[in-house]
């Protein structure tokens, strides 16, 4: 599993707290920034991660901003991306099993590191169910 991760300044602290643990959960992890708490624009990092997943260079993307909303909106502008904003493990399970999300967005200012690990562990270890959900996700693009 090849994973790209990115955040803005509001997600930087949570991203940092997740990096070492994440490296033990996936085959390859590429941190595309940001690299400090200096204020930046979340679309720059969301486009970088979503673009890499869209091109097929990574299997999944992880994005973190304050609410998770801005990075989620940005990632979903990419045709090949199904991005899901997840705040608990139940939602992240459904984001993969029903929506086959290939980018997961976390609200860095509203969840703990432990909750973030639960969410990501669930996301990484859940399989897409296919069947009727395949028909539905094939109707998303416009
Ligand atoms: C940054 O202050 C904040 O607006 C951003 O991290 C995010 O929450 C936007 O959706």
For the chain, the structural domain boundaries read 2-137
Superfamily of domain 2-137: Sugar-phosphate isomerase, RpiB/LacA/LacB (3.40.1400.10)
Q: Residue 103 and residue 66: Cα distance in Å, rounded? A: 16
* Binding site membership of 43 for ligand 1 (Cβ less than 6 Å): no
Q: Residue 5 and residue 142: Cα distance in Å, rounded? A: 26
Catalytic option among 65, 78, 86, 105: 65
Q: Residue 85 and residue 106: Cα distance in Å, rounded? A: 6
**Look-up: residue for tokens 């304050």?**
66
C-beta separation of 30 from 58 below 8 A: yes
* Binding site membership of 64 for ligand 1 (Cβ less than 6 Å): no
Is position 142 annotated as part of the catalytic site?
no
Q: What percent of the chain has pLDDT over 70?
A: 100
* Confidence tier at 46 by pLDDT (50, 70, 90): very high
* Binding site membership of 85 for ligand 1 (Cβ less than 6 Å): no
Work out which ligand 1 atom sits closest to the CA atom of 69: 10
* Residue 107 vs residues 1, 27, 77: alpha-carbon distances, Å: 23, 24, 19
Is position 65 annotated as part of the catalytic site?
yes
**pLDDT, average across residues 21-34:** 98
**What pLDDT sits at residue 32?**
98
**What pLDDT sits at residue 47?**
98
């Amino acid at each position: 599993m090849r994973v790209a991760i990115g955040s803005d300044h509001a997600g930087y602290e949570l991203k940092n707290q997740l990096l070492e643990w994440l490296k033990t959960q996936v085959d390859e992890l590429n941190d595309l920034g940001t690299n400090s708490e200096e204020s930046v624009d979340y679309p720059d990092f969301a486009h970088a991660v979503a673009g890499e997943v869209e091109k097929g260079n990574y299997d999944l993307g992880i994005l973190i901003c304050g609410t998770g909303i801005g990075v989620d909106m940005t990632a979903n502008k990419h045709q090949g991306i199904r991005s899901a904003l997840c705040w608990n493990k139940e939602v992240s399970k459904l984001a993969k099993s029903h929506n086959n999300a290939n980018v997961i967005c976390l609200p860095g200012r509203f969840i703990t590191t432990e909750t973030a690990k639960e969410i990501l562990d669930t996301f990484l270890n859940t399989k897409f169910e296919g069947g009727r959900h395949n028909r539905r996700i094939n109707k998303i693009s416009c």
